[in-house]
Each structure stands twice: as C-alpha cells, then as structure tokens.
Structure 1
C-alpha cells in the first residue's frame, strides 16, 4: 500500500512531508484517479477539436497531433470475394494531417508482430471473432493486415502511447484499444445497409451515378464522403473523415467533409456482387491502370527539371551514373521501392533512405505522370542542388528551399 501511495504522490508531484500525513496521501490518490478513466487519461471536456485550434495544445494524450483528421476506411472486395456478401469490410483507422498529408510507421519501438496473441492475452475473444468476420485481408491472412494497420497508423497516434496510461495498466492495453476503436467506428458506419436502404445494391446489370452514391452516404453520415472506383468503374472503397475531441480511445469523433474528391466516374458506376465475377480480358493497355500483383517497374528516379538523379542510397547526386530502381506492388496498397542496396523508406530524420536491412514503406506512384510520392505529399524537397561529388538528402514535402517532383524514368 505504501509503495502505491508513493507512486501516486510522485506522479502528481506531491512532496512527502517529514511526518507522513494520510490525508495528503488520500488527496493525492483522489487527484490521480480523477485524471484516469478505464486506465487511460481522462481529458478535459473543453479541449478543442483537432485541426481547429489557434494555439498549440501541449497535452498530446488529450489532443491527437499531427494526425488530426481520422479516417475510417472500408473496402468492397469482390475479386477475390472477401467478407460477407452484404457488408463492406473494415480496412483501417488512419490519422491524417490537417492538410491531408500523412505519416506512417512513426515509431519502430511501438511496432508489433502478432495482434492475435496480444488480444488473446487480454481475453478479447469477442473482439477477435468480430475482427475475423469484418477486418479481412484479400490474401486470406487477416492478422497480417491487422498488424500492418497498427504498425503503419497506430504508431502515429499520440493519444494511445503507453505513457498516456496509468502506471499499473497492463502492457499493450493501447494496442487493444486501437483495435476496439477501429471496430467500434466501423460498426457505426454500415455502408452496405445505407446504400441498400436507398436501392443501391450489388448487381451485374444495374449501374449507379456518383451523385446517387454520394448523396445517400452523405445523408446518413452528415458530411460528404470519399468514394473510390477501380479500373472496372466499380465502387471499391469508402472513406469517412472526422475531427477528434479528446483521445482516440474515448474522444468524440465529429464527421467532416472528405478532404479528397471522389475517384469515380459521374455515371455508370458498378456495384459488383461478391460472387461470380470474372474480369474482362484486356483489349488495350491503360497507362492509368494499376500494376498487376507481382509485376515490377524499372527506371531511374530523377528530380524533375533538375540536374542529376537519385543514387542507390537514396540521396540526390549530379556527378555519376543514375541508379536503377524497381517499383513493385506492396501487399496492402502502394508500391515498394528498391535499389541495388536494398529497400527504401523515409528515415527517422525525414529523408529517403535505401539500404540493406531497411523495412520497405509504401510509396504512391502515378503511372500516367510517372511521379513517385509519399504520405500524400506530391512534391519532394532538398536544402540545395547537389554540386560536384556532393550527395544531398531529399525528403517528401515542401520543407526545403528546393522543391520538385520525383519522376520514374524508364531505363
């Protein structure tokens, strides 16, 4: 009991008098417990919504930053068919920056290798059963998607760091909370039910307009949503955007308008049933279509309208031979980039890094324009243009005085 009181008093910066006073100890305990609810810190009711504050909010356990826009994302996968026939499946909960850019794989020390074993250690059988039904991976390995989503996005959430929990909280409670909240938000956004209630149901013959789909979901969600179609003009993704008041765990998620324009045609949108779909044989090559799984692209990475190119370690160089890079489809979307030295990522200092032992990150690639991007950042930057024999680090975004697009140029 004494050690608990000492912990409480230390955590609340209450000094211990020469003569131990039980009333002071009880006051410290009361102050401590009032600041924690269900093991996670209780946040003030008057804290502003993310992305709406005029001044810096210092308490990161009560204010999600820099990822102040929370996206709940759902997929309709029919080839191969994934999940129930009458349900979009959960893909993830993503923290985007207020301008639509985003961070990923923010803290390697927080990454996990098994979501299932963590949830089982907490006795979360019901949650695991729900996830196995609604949080599906197209390749059949659902847990690999769960692990990927936490490592890529959960490690970027500041309000569920372990330091935001009481000292006696069981380790990994924050990871359980990430999965619980993701499922809870998903269950409150029944996309299939909302569409079906307005007569928008899977069909091999019927097509729909973008306005029909957007208006239906907006009426239920309260704000415009983002919908995305694939190369068959078929709806495949729905994203719901929120601001957040408080923490990821027990904060209030306020619907906001999507930060992106929907990527679907105005008319003729298909809602393909999850059974019996056979893709049509291609009659021509569409440069904007995705690279088939297993296929790779080869080329040089060159800062557009600038001298030189990117060399195999990921730096910008102007005096030697350009390095050869390959872009291959990543397991969960986007592309992995690799040079002769190894895979590429954005390092802890924010610069492109390629080398042995590097865990690959997901980059985006626009096949029509040939541009490589990262984290929703369409340009890259550097402190200066490389002179003879100098190697200059480059970073995604607009942080440096020299900005450019990064282009994949065929060899």
Structure 2
C-alpha cells in the first residue's frame, strides 16, 4: 500500500510547503486508508469535491441560458461534510470578497463572479462570503502554512479562482440543450433523460435536484483530487448522492426575466452556408465561448481552457459592434487573420464585428467561421483566427 504518511513527512522535512511542489505520485483523495493530518499535498478528511450549480427561474437570477455557480464544496469521502473548519482563515470584519479580490488584482475574476455567481434575490457578496467561510476554510491544502510566502486572504483568492475555473468547464445548459432539453413552460422531461444528457458529457453520474414543483433547480458534479487543490488535478467520479427529482414530469422552466440589457441596434450576419440571419443585438457584457469545445476566450483574445473566462463588452458601433476586454479593444490582423485584444488597439483601429442574437454568433464580414491551429488544453493559450483556414473549426458565441 502507498505509504502516504512517510512521503508527506519527507516533504515537510525538505521544506516543500508550496502546493506546486507536491509529487506526481501522490494518490487521489479518498484512496488512502491511513488518516493524514496537516497535509499540504492531500485533501483530508474532505476529499470529495463538489461543483454545484443553480437554476433559479423565479425570481430569474443570472443569464437566461446559464446555470449559475452555487459553490465548490469539500465533502467527506462518504458524502457528509464539515463546515467553518478554520475560523482564522475567514474573511471578516470590514473586509469583503470584492475588496480581497481587488487587492490581488483579480478584477477579471470579480467581473466574472458578478455575472455567474449569483445570489437568489440579490446580494451576491453575501453568498460569496458564505461559500468561502463555510466551505473554503475546510480545504486543508489551502492552509496558510502551505504557502511559501503567505499574504492574508491569499487562500480565499485561490478558492474563488479555482471555483470559477472548475465551473467554466461544466456548461450544464449547453449539455442539456444539445440533448434537446431546453426551458419550456409546457414540456417536461424524465430524470433519466436529464441525467443521461449530463453523464454523457461529464463521464460519470451527476446529482440533480428539483423544487417542490418538480422543476429542475440544481446540478452537482463530484470529483476526487490529486495533490493540492491548488493544482486543480480533479478526477471526475460518480455522484455520492441520489438525485432528488421524480422519475418523470420534470419541468425545466425558463427564467421569467433575463438580466437587463439595453437594445441598441440591428445586425445582419451570414452563416458559413450563406444563409442570412437578422436579429436585434445588445450593448452588454458576457463571455465568448467556442462551439463544440471547452474553454473560452480570455482577455488577450486567445483560447484558454484552464482559468477564468474574460468578460467581454459588446459595444454598438454604427452597423456593427466592437469587442472589448480589460486589456482593451479587439481586432483581427488583416494579414494573419489572428484575433487579439490589447491596450494599443483604439476605437478607430478596433475591428467591427457582426453579432446575431438568435445564434449568438460573432461574425466578421458576414462569415461566422473561426478556427485554430490546435485545440487548447492545459496552460496553453491558443490563437484564434477568422475563417476556417485551420484544422480546428468552430463559431464564437457571445452570451
């Protein structure tokens, strides 16, 4: 049997307290029979990690085509949980999650959270604070002692980054939509249909929950983790809980009102097959994702699968739209066709894009085709090009 105790003792004696120093030979959480205390390389006793999402339809909360982030929970291996494990780690007093993230320069992360990590009825800040203080303080590999040079609340900042990064890899709404399961006031679905659609994409069974009206309102995904949670080496596992919905007659109700946006103009775009689509577009903020692929565009305009999606602004400009991130405006290079966003790009040099609200596709000169030379994975940031000249084809969708 793997002797985890001896390995961790040797790490400690060598002074290796940083999460990224954990050896690759560390076993998965919940796979060791020997209790391990005060470890920076093994989540114990809360080795089952849950990424949980809400569908709040009344009152409508968050975008109408997005399950919002509920939390990232460290449960015990048997399915129970601990809470408020380390009070000294808590964000308290006059400090807020927003002020903590801003102090670490995590403005993109904060903007993303303001869009996708929503509290039913408002006051998102209180939900964030609750999730970290209750659950984040129970992740032992986020202990201040696990940092080589710890700054107050650095572990809280890492908790929020990891929670959002994990959530971004689990597009529940899109997975259901691909299986023909979409919000409706008349259509109902079976538990088997919903679970099968999510399991097909996730690779393991998931937990779904319904409210008293038998309407879908929550989805949970389960993981084990190898090494420190800061390394995000998550391994999908089957749900440790039995879904709470009825076998049939499950409603997936539309959100009664979507997040308010200001309608400013009409755009006509053309699909790659030549069909023309017209719709009223909005000046608003959102993410840019790639159809059929995981990940999203980050603030420099590149495709990335590990980390926080950038918040893009779709800004009306004459008959089209500019795209803008925290880095600056975006443009497509006239020679290479590569997309980039930077502070050196101005309103006069920014590319004017088309946008169709029906398909949510971003187009260039009427063409919705985009491509890349390779699929983004790990820490790689991959250039995205206008047109389908490269081997990986997709559309860019703003939502």
TM-score (normalizing by structure 2): 0.59
The 1-side partners of 2:97 and 2:112 are apart by 14
Cα deviations by residue, 1:55-76 (Å, 9 ceiling, x for unpaired)? 3445611101110100000000
User: Does the Cα contact within 8 Å between 1:224 and 1:258 map onto a contact in 2?
Assistant: yes
User: Does the Cα contact within 8 Å between 1:116 and 1:143 map onto a contact in 2?
Assistant: yes
Cα deviations by residue, 1:152-211 (Å, 9 ceiling, x for unpaired)? 001111000101001x33322111100000000000000000000111000011111100
1:163 to 145, 160, 181: 145
Alignment: residue pair count:
245
The alpha carbon displacement at 1:149 in A equals 0.3
Matched, 1:206 2:187: yes
The 1-side partners of 2:37 and 2:137 are apart by 19
- Which residue is 1:242 aligned to? 223
The 2-side partners of 1:276 and 1:82 are apart by 8
Greater relative contact order: 1 or 2 (C-alpha under 8 angstroms, separation 6 or more)? 2
- Which residue is 1:121 aligned to? 103
Matched, 1:270 2:270: no
User: Does the Cα contact within 8 Å between 2:38 and 2:140 map onto a contact in 1?
Assistant: no
Extract unaligned runs of 5+ from structure 1. 1-10, 14-30, 278-411
Matched, 1:48 2:30: no
- Which residue is 2:85 aligned to? 106
**What SS does structure 1 have at the residue aligned with 2:230?**
coil
The alpha carbon displacement at 1:41 in A equals 4.5
- Which residue is 1:338 aligned to? none
- Which residue is 2:128 aligned to? 146
- Which residue is 2:66 aligned to? 87
Alignment of 1:274-353 (within 5 A): 274-275=255-256
Cα deviations by residue, 1:304-358 (Å, 9 ceiling, x for unpaired)? xxxxxxxxxxxxxxxxxxxxxxxxxxxxxxxxxxxxxxxxxxxxxxxxxxxxxxx
User: Does the Cα contact within 8 Å between 1:242 and 1:256 map onto a contact in 2?
Assistant: yes
The 1-side partners of 2:138 and 2:220 are apart by 19
User: Does the Cα contact within 8 Å between 1:41 and 1:165 map onto a contact in 2?
Assistant: no
User: Does the Cα contact within 8 Å between 1:209 and 1:269 map onto a contact in 2?
Assistant: yes
Q: Which has the larger radius of gyration?
A: 1
The 1-side partners of 2:67 and 2:231 are apart by 25
Matched, 1:256 2:237: yes
Alignment of 1:374-393 (within 5 A): none
The 2-side partners of 1:40 and 1:170 are apart by 15
User: Does the Cα contact within 8 Å between 1:66 and 1:97 map onto a contact in 2?
Assistant: yes
1:223 to 204, 223, 238: 204
The 2-side partners of 1:139 and 1:208 are apart by 27
The 2-side partners of 1:12 and 1:154 are apart by 23
The alpha carbon displacement at 1:109 in A equals 1.4
Cα deviations by residue, 1:23-82 (Å, 9 ceiling, x for unpaired)? xxxxxxxx76xx46xx64521101111111133445611101110100000000011110
Matched, 1:133 2:112: no
TM-score (normalizing by structure 1): 0.57
- Which residue is 2:173 aligned to? 192
Cα distance change, pair 276–154 in 1 and its aligned pair in 2 (3 A) = closer
Matched, 1:182 2:182: no
**What SS does structure 2 have at the residue aligned with 1:72?**
strand
Alignment of 1:52-63 (within 5 A): 52-57=31-36, 60-63=39-42
The alpha carbon displacement at 1:243 in A equals 0.7
The 1-side partners of 2:257 and 2:112 are apart by 26
User: Does the Cα contact within 8 Å between 2:62 and 2:115 map onto a contact in 1?
Assistant: yes
**What SS does structure 2 have at the residue aligned with 1:216?**
helix
The 1-side partners of 2:101 and 2:144 are apart by 16
Deviating above 6 A after TM superposition, structure 1's stretches of 4 or more consecutive aligned residues are none
User: Does the Cα contact within 8 Å between 2:89 and 2:153 map onto a contact in 1?
Assistant: no
Cα deviations by residue, 1:252-296 (Å, 9 ceiling, x for unpaired)? 11111111110001111000000169xxxxxxxxxxxxxxxxxxx
The 2-side partners of 1:270 and 1:120 are apart by 39
User: Does the Cα contact within 8 Å between 2:49 and 2:74 map onto a contact in 1?
Assistant: yes
- Which residue is 1:75 aligned to? 54
**What SS does structure 2 have at the residue aligned with 1:131?**
helix
Moved more, 105-114 or 148-157: 105-114
Cα distance change, pair 12–264 in 1 and its aligned pair in 2 (3 A) = closer
